[in-house]
Structure 1
Amino acid sequence: MGILTQYLKPTVAAALSAIAFLQPSVALSADLDALMLQLRDADPRDAARLADEIQLEWSKSGSATADYLLKRGRDAMERGDTTAALEHLTALVDHAPDFAEGWVTRAGVYFHAGLLGPAVHDLEQALALNPQHFEAIIGLATLFEMIDRPDEAYEAYLQVKAIHPAHPDVTEALQRLAPLVKGQTL
């Protein structure tokens, strides 16, 4: 666990810096930019629909091979075949290293396999490519909570809140972590 916490510190700085300072247009098309702006102001019902649209767009690589590998990796995950999922998703990130969704999806497999260091690495890669990938940021926040780093988790959830204010998991997480980060009021 000590090695992981040492590894996370530079990752947090890099990821949160990328989120805070990179322009949204770096990694997103004009259509995605418009969807992201709509997401910030949407009510919860519309936000869920917009988030689904955004995630669908993020899943389009522009390469039939990459899309196929992503589908095969996700299918293997659904079957619980971690080995096959990692093989397909590793082939995907090798084939399309600029496709953030490949990194995020492989990070999820690593996370479920208990391989936290590789999961953090993949989330860092994804956020370098797409600093507004709210699911990648939530992944980092979840890892921070697991290793008892509530301040970093809280900060990551705040970053998601700025991007996707109606995300139901984020609101609950901020409420859960607030007493740990800000202290209890008497």
Structure 2
Amino acid sequence: MNARNPIFHLSLAVCLAAAPVGAAPLDDLYDALRTAPPEDAPRLQAEVEAEWSRSGSAAMDLLLERGRAALDLGDPGGALPHLTALTDHAPDFAEGWSMKALALAQLGQTGPALADLRRALILDPRHFGAILGLAVMMEDMNRPEQAIDAYELILTIHPNATEAQAGIDRLRATTDGPEI
């Protein structure tokens, strides 16, 4: 990570330092994902994502499912009430905040989306989906250095994350000058 924006780095550092450690199964999956060979990474990523989707409440899981379904249909406005109810009733559920941030970002509500991503990362600092959301938002805001930092952070958690490496490669191609 670079020192181009100390506030951005401080925010990431606060999220990572202050975050509670997740449940043991998720911790084990993150550890396995970090050291997985490329051929095992997709399966482990799917297992992590399945764990993210488990709130511990059938009602909250249903709200998440409905929010995701609306997002899949391209209806972030329809997703937002479900995801807002989810975060209201399950404020310690990181995936709820991450998905709500996605809906807000798609609605052009950047500030609230960033706040929700921050909350998700406080709850789960290794939530590479939330970090990916942050990276994409930084790209959209024309902040390539911060986007690269976020993509690099993903690679420390999930070294086989092709989206993160592709993001770094794409941004470096546009931000680095030609080689001499």
* TM-score, length-scaled by structure 1: 0.86
* Structure 2 match to 1:165: 159
| In the alignment, structure 1 residue 155 sits paired with structure 2 residue 149 | yes
The residue type equivalent to 2:11 in the other structure is: A
Q: Is contact 2:79-2:103 (8 Å) kept?
A: yes
Cα distance in structure 1, aligned partners of 2:160 and 2:127: 15
Q: Find 2:36's aligned residue among 29, 39, 42.
A: 42
Q: Name which of structure 1's ranges 175-184 and 103-112 shifts more when overlaid on structure 2.
A: 175-184
* Structure 1 match to 2:21: 27
* Structure 2 match to 1:92: 86
Structure 1, unpaired ranges of 5+: 1-7
* Structure 2 match to 1:178: 172
CA displacement, residues 137-177 of structure 1 (integer Å, 9 cap, x when unaligned)? 11111111111111111111111010001001111111122
- Would you say how many aligned residue pairs link Structure 1 and Structure 2? 176
* Structure 1 match to 2:12: 15
Structure 2, unpaired ranges of 5+: none
How much has 1:32 moved relative to structure 2? Answer: 1.2
Cα distance in structure 1, aligned partners of 2:15 and 2:176: 25
Cα distance in structure 2, aligned partners of 1:16 and 1:181: 24
* Structure 2 match to 1:52: 46
The residue type equivalent to 1:105 in the other structure is: M
| In the alignment, structure 1 residue 115 sits paired with structure 2 residue 112 | no
Q: Find 2:75's aligned residue among 81, 102, 115.
A: 81
The residue type equivalent to 2:27 in the other structure is: D
Compared CA separation, residues 144 and 81, structure 1 to 2 (3 A): closer
